[in-house]
């Protein structure tokens, strides 16, 4: 009777080939060619024998490669997988990995609400969200990857933190920044003279989206620091020009046509292997961390999608870019205001040059320019 039962189990769960290979599976399928024993399942695992330290050591003449689960063989008395190699029992190394931080998703931003979204993280079993960098006090979101926050102040920038977790622990936080502002509306910023803004002034920035080439992005409709939008493409007023920045430098400069403010020693030359870092990005520092300097690719996409060939084309676009001029790389003196527009990207060309959008009455193109120049900043938000 016992022999019959054993044969029945083998017939139900194991298929044996002439070569001696065995597969254990619900569908009685053949084993892989490289395996003598192939256990197939998507719902169950393979369970080696479990025993104590004393029981493991009592095994007579263990074979090389013998594997057991020892329930108390770690130095702290916990269990571990063991293998017999080199004439002795050895504990197999084991890790308990925490998830990587979840990637930021696409935010939905209106004048009083932000829907914070993040992507799933591999090996995560859940997520936490918080307005402060405090995992212990964070809201447990379970497996949800979205959080709706209402009652926000229009135009205000907000920073939030998201962690992925599993049984082994939690990731570092993903820092997500957003602005309670629907693109197409305006917001007001009180700039204070200091290490970023050159003078104290209050500016109301309009915003616009659906610009050909980057239709999903949000842009401010005047230069950073400009009191007004330009009246004409060759508007040479300081009020329309706004402020100027050297590449990867946070300090902005105002030029009224006679005096540069601040009139500090001009930084020249600038030679470094770096794009524009977020810690010195004037868009982020003055408007909030949701804003940044556009990349070379983003400017290029606008130039080609809009078929920009001279200064009239960028001015005719929804951004109304004009010939705001520059500050010379040699000494910070004002030049070409009213005849040429030069707008930094955040992408360097090499150690000495960086990509910028340049246009005049005969050309509109992307070019590499000396990092020591002071160019205009037009900010973008995802």
365 contacts 355 by C-beta, under 8 angstroms:
no
Res 8 pLDDT > 90: no
CA distance 103 to 176: 9
In whole angstroms, what separates CA 32 from the centre of its chain?
A: 42
Res 323 pLDDT > 90: yes
Residue range 215-229: mean pLDDT, rounded: 97
Model confidence pLDDT, tens digit, residues 275-288? 999 999 999 999 99
Pick the residue with more confidence: 5 or 153? Answer: 153
Please report which confidence band the pLDDT of residue 299 belongs to, taking 50, 70 and 90 as the band edges: very high
Model confidence pLDDT, tens digit, residues 46-104? 899 999 999 999 999 999 999 999 999 998 999 999 999 999 999 998 889 999 999 99
Res 17 pLDDT > 80: no
- Mean residue pLDDT across the chain: 93
Confidence (pLDDT) at 31: 86
What whole-number percentage of the chain has pLDDT above 90?
Answer: 87
**Ranges assigned E (strand) in 258-378:** 260-261, 291-292, 326-327, 334-335, 341-348, 353-359, 364-370, 374-376
Res 238 pLDDT > 60: yes
Res 12 pLDDT > 70: no
Residue 108: both structure tokens together: 């939905």
């Amino acid at each position: 009777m016992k022999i019959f039962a054993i044969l029945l189990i083998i017939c139900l769960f194991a298929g044996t080939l002439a070569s001696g290979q065995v597969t254990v599976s619900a569908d009685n399928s053949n084993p892989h060619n490289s395996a003598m024993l192939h256990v197939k399942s998507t719902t169950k695992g393979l369970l080696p024998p479990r025993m104590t330290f004393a029981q493991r050591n009592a095994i007579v003449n263990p074979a090389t490669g013998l594997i057991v689960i020892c329930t108390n063989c770690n130095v702290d008395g916990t269990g571990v997988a063991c293998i017999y190699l080199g004439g002795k029992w050895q504990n197999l190394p084991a890790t308990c990995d925490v998830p990587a931080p979840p990637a930021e998703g696409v935010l939905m931003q209106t004048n009083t609400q932000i829907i914070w979204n993040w992507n799933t993280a591999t090996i995560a079993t859940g997520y936490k969200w918080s307005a402060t960098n405090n995992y212990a006090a964070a809201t447990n979101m379970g497996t949800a990857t979205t959080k709706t926050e209402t009652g926000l102040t229009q135009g205000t920038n907000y920073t939030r933190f998201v962690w992925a977790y599993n049984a082994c622990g939690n990731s570092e936080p993903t820092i997500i920044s957003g602005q309670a502002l629907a693109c197409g509306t305006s917001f007001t910023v009180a700039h204070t003279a200091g290490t970023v803004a050159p003078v104290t002034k209050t500016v109301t920035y309009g915003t616009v989206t659906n610009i050909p080439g980057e239709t999903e992005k949000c842009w401010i409709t005047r230069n950073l620091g400009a009191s007004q939008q330009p009246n004409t493409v060759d508007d040479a007023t300081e009020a329309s020009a706004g402020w100027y920045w050297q590449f990867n430098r946070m300090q902005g400069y105002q030029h009224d046509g006679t005096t540069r403010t601040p009139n500090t020693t001009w930084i020249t030359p600038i030679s470094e292997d770096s794009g524009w870092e977020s810690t010195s990005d004037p868009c982020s520092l003055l408007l909030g961390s949701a804003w940044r300097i556009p990349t070379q690719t983003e400017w290029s996409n606008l130039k080609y999608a809009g078929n920009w060939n001279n200064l009239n084309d960028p001015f005719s676009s929804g951004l109304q870019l004009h010939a705001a001029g520059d500050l010379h790389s040699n000494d910070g003196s004002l030049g070409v205001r009213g005849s040429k527009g030069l707008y930094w990207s955040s992408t360097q060309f090499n150690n000495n040059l960086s990509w910028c959008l340049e246009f005049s009455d005969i050309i509109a193109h992307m070019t590499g320019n000396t990092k020591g120049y002071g160019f205009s900043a037009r900010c973008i938000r995802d």
